[in-house]
Structure formats: C-alpha cells, structure tokens
A and B are shown apart, each in its own frame.
Chain A
C-alpha cells in the first residue's frame, strides 16, 4: 500500500532526542525510510547521527519538506504534539505514545479530521510497507517480507506473531498497519480496509482485533458491503473477564458489550475466516486466499 508510506515519505520524529525516539528513528532509517528531521523543543540546531533537530515542527517542515511524523512524546504532551504536526501541514501522523487520556484523543481526532490529515495510533506500533522499504514505527523490520497481504491490527507484538506466521508461509506483506489499542484510534479498521481494497498491491487482508468497542463489528459490515478481496482475522481476549482493562485502554468489556465471541460472530457472518487459535493466524489467511481467489 503506497498510499500511507513509501519511498516519497519524508519523516520527522517528534521526541527524537529521547531514548525511544532516537533508537527507533535510526532503525527506521536503517530499514530504508527517508528520515529528514527530528523535533525536540529546546534542542534545535543539534543533530542525531546526522539528522537535523529543530525546535518546532513548523521549522522542520519549512527546512526539510517533512510530510510524515512519528511521535515519541510522553502521554501528557502527546495530543499537543499531534496538533502541532497537523498545524504544520504534516499529512500523516503516526503516534506511538501509550497512555494518552481518552478525552485528549476525542479532541485531537476532531482537529485531525477537520484538517484532512491522517492519524495512525495512538498506542500502536506504526506502519510498515516492505515493498517500499519504508517503516514508520517500532516493529522489527526483519520479520516482514515484501508481498501482497495487508495486515491491520489493534495490537503490537501479536501483529509481529501474525506477520511471522505469514512470512513463514510465504505470504509476504504489502503494508502492515497498527491502529493501536486505544478507545479512539485515529485510523479505524474500516479506514484501513478501504485503503487495502483500493490498493492494487494488496490481494488479501489479515485483521487482528480484540475485546472492547465495536471496531470489528463495523469492519464486518464494511467487508460485507464493500470488499471483494479475501479477509481473515483473529480476535484476542476470549478469556478476558468483563469490566477489566486488559492492558490496552480500549480493551475492556463494558456493560456486557465488546466480547471476543460477539466480534467473532460478526466477522464470520460477513464471510471472514476467523482463526480460533493465535497459532493458526497464518493458516487462516492461506485458507481465505484459497477459498476466495483474487479476481
């Protein structure tokens, strides 16, 4: 999927001088991403291994033409960082930060949408397009291989598990997208599915959901009404107790709603093959491709 990130991506990292920001920026550059700038208020004029650091995103955009941002700013300040990026004209903002208050997420998403920008995350591993040697995120590049399967997930390491299985089966990936584990993600399953459906480089999609919210149910409706490409899935949390936040802020069964069983049912009703076990995610994708060959 070359729509989100590709060889034309010019990446700026907000929070580049922090430990995580620095480490992952260099890893993205090593993977092949064109990293053009970093921002840490107060550290403008410096550099990180040759990457120029600016005080503001506006300065970074003006000087380097950055068009994509990766955010490693602590939760208390992350929403502000997203707003700053959008205001400076950044079109794609990938927010890795975990722990942003839900109210901040509601507010910042409204601003992002009004500006016509795209937010990926928060609380996600980011996005990677192996065919384009482009990575904006924290996922280990080496487990991915170029191919034609799109992956979209609410999880981080569970996505790596799925990608690992897909790669082992010879099912390479077009783009892998982590929408994150929070209650108000910037990009939803339905947004990603729409992009994958329109992407000539993607033949099928693997979707990884979990308890809480209605994103999987909405995805099921979208697949039934708009998708011609095969979709397979896994939903984590069949054993999760009600009312407890399972790590992710959005992973909570509230008022009896949002169980894994309900989500599986909704996905299956839309013709999506749902793996019963996380050990069978790659196999489920292979089966779905067999059952519904690419036109």
Chain B
C-alpha cells in the first residue's frame, strides 16, 4: 500500500524529522490561502499522486503569489497527470501539497528498503539527490552507498555517522543528517514499510537538514497490524476492479489484454498469463482464487473479470490438488449461470476427480470448451477470441 507524499511527511514529522512547512488542499482557493499562510517569497505546489516523475510532467510548480498558486491549482486539480510511470491515461490529481520554498544547498538521495539478497533492511544513499536513482543504479552503481539496518536495533549511530561523512555534508551538519537517517530507519521498522524514500533529502542555506520529498509504501501483509496507516488508504486512487477483488479476498491485477484468466495459485496464474501470450493472446488480468476457492468466490471472480467490457473470453486453469475437480466444475457451472456468461469460456481442469469434473462441464449444457492441458487451453481461448 502506498502513502501520498503529505501522508509520509506527517509520519516523518511525528518521528522528529524536519519537513517543509506545508498544507494539503483540495480546492484552488485553498492553495491561495496556503500561500498567504506560509508568507514566503515563493512556495511549491505539488500534485499528490502515486507516481514518480511528477516534476517533469508539470505536477510540481513554483509559485510566487497567491494568484499564481490559485491558477496553478486550478490547472492541476481534477485533471489527469501523465508521467512516465502512470501510463497514457495518467492519474487524477485530487490533492495538492503547498509548501514553503526553501533555499537549497545540497540535494541527497536516501531510502530504506528490504535487501532480499542480504535478508535485512538497508539504508541506500547517494550524494546526488533529486534524480532517477534507477538510472544511477544502472550507470554508476558505485555512487550508491549502503549501510545495513539491524532488524531490531535499527540503524546504529556509528553507521549513520559514517554515511553522513561519506555523503560529504559540512561537519556541522553531520550530526543532524545522521539523526535523520536513523529516523528514516526507525520509521521503516515501526511502520512495516516496504520503502521509505526521501528524494531529495536536502541541506538548506540556513543550515538545516530537511526531507524535501517523502515516499512510503507499507507491506500489504502487515496492514493487519498497521491499522492507522491502513486507514489512510483512499480507494479512489486505485483500479476499481482491484478494490473489489481485495474486498472479496481475491488476488487480482488488471492488465491491458482481452483474455480473462482465472487460476488457482499465483505461480500457475502467472504461467497461465505467459502461455496465453506465447499463443498470441493478451491476458486481461492476473487472478489467483487461492487454494480453497468456494463456488461463491469463483462466481465473484467471474463477475470481476467480466466487469471489464474489453474482456472477450475467459480461460479457467485449475490444478486441483486437495480441491476436487468435480466440486470446482460445479462451482464454475453455477458461476457461469449466475453471471450469464456471454463470452467464450475455456476450462482446463486437472487433478483429483478430473474425469467427473469434465463430465459435469460437458453435461451442463453451457458453452464451455474443455481443454486437455495448458497448451491446448491457451490455443483454444486465443482462437475463440480472435
């Protein structure tokens, strides 16, 4: 789950880190008022969207008056911001963060993330901030500094200091920067974060260390114990079908194709998408009904897939282990009747009681094509929708 910049900065401030003074607004005159309250020479208006590359897309704008703030806010609010990360449709800007303008000295990159190779969280930092860290990671990996974060103790003070010295900030700011880095690690542990990123983390001309940007994502598996953070989720920012699927405890990701997929097991579901593509088709979604799918869940899954009018056909691939194929076949038939299926359906069943399962499908009177194996299933559905 992603947090917006303003939400991440609230958490940073609560943890004692310095963030720019700012106000979240959802209306143009709110932006004008915010500018006045800040009372600075200039302010920065930032679109609050879950996507990087806002700056280049015009989602981060410097303003020098309340009128300008109003005008920029009008330009941004309610419109779709298209960045290199959003896809061509872009994302709707619902909120703006209006912050004081600061006189910057240095810009640094800092992030805490789980290093799956080292099996521990790490603090990554770079003396160049405000840039695409992925580019630096590819072109100049030696520019990225790392310190391990202990999963209980956090970032030890000596490591924080070492990192601060290596980042080359003036001596008098080493302590403040080190404490900020420790703060980021502390937040990561306390929030069950996936990522805590500040890009850029800045030093100002008046000698402060400030988190100019803030990005946080929370481990979805930990939301049950991060209730305050979980409550910050705004489903308006998400794909509606994905929201519905989550509510039904189905694992679902919307894609761009026209062949809906319904599978038990994440690895098999990914492999099913892959084989559809190998046969010249385009998967419309990833969907894992899980190990103990009931007829009801199968029906809900069908409904979600069919909600998408671009879906021209559905492929069901079930390897029933403990789950019996005849029970599943009954569920598929029930679900198909309930949603009044009007598009081609190919079903591949394998596993316990498979013969009985296939018989149930054949006897249902519904237009269900049975496939013998995965390759057969992919070929049949691609043919059916073309």
* A115 touches B (CB below 8 Å): no
The stretch that binds A, out of B34-42, B96-104, B263-271, B302-310, is: B263-271
- Nearest-Cβ distance from residue A137 to partner chain B, whole angstroms: 10
* B116 touches A (CB below 8 Å): yes
Q: Are A103 and B151 in contact (CB under 8 A)?
A: yes
Residues of B within 8 A of A250 (CB): 116
* A164 touches B (CB below 8 Å): yes
Q: Interface residues of A, CB < 8 Å — how many?
A: 62
* B158 touches A (CB below 8 Å): no
A245–B223 alpha-carbon span in the complex (Å): 15
A238–B119 alpha-carbon span in the complex (Å): 25
* A276 touches B (CB below 8 Å): yes
Residues of B within 8 A of A279 (CB): 275, 373-375, 378
| Given A164-B350, A240-B273, residue A140 in contact with residue B321 (CB < 8 A) | yes
Interface contacts (Cβ under 8 Å), in number, total 171
A204–B222 alpha-carbon span in the complex (Å): 38
Residues of B within 8 A of A159 (CB): 267
A260–B137 alpha-carbon span in the complex (Å): 19
Closest to B274 in A: A238
Q: Which of B194, B221, B351 has the most CB of A within 10 A?
A: B221
A13–B288 alpha-carbon span in the complex (Å): 26
Q: Interface residues of B, CB < 8 Å — how many?
A: 55
Q: Are B283 and A106 in contact (CB under 8 A)?
A: no
**CB-CB contacts below 8 Å: A127-167 with B:** 138-140, 142-143, 153-161, 164
A140–B288 alpha-carbon span in the complex (Å): 19
Q: Hey, what's the 0/1 contact readout for B212-252 against A, CB within 8 Å counting as 1?
A: 00000001111011000000000000000000000000010
Q: Are B267 and A248 in contact (CB under 8 A)?
A: yes
Residues of A within 8 A of B291 (CB): 138, 156
Residues of A within 8 A of B151 (CB): 103, 106-107, 110
The stretch that binds B, out of A80-88, A192-200, A205-213, is: A205-213
- Nearest-Cβ distance from residue A232 to partner chain B, whole angstroms: 15
Closest to A182 in B: B221
| Beyond A157-B263, A247-B286, 6 additional pairs, beta carbon < 8 A | A103-B189, A155-B265, A159-B267, A161-B350, A251-B270, A277-B274
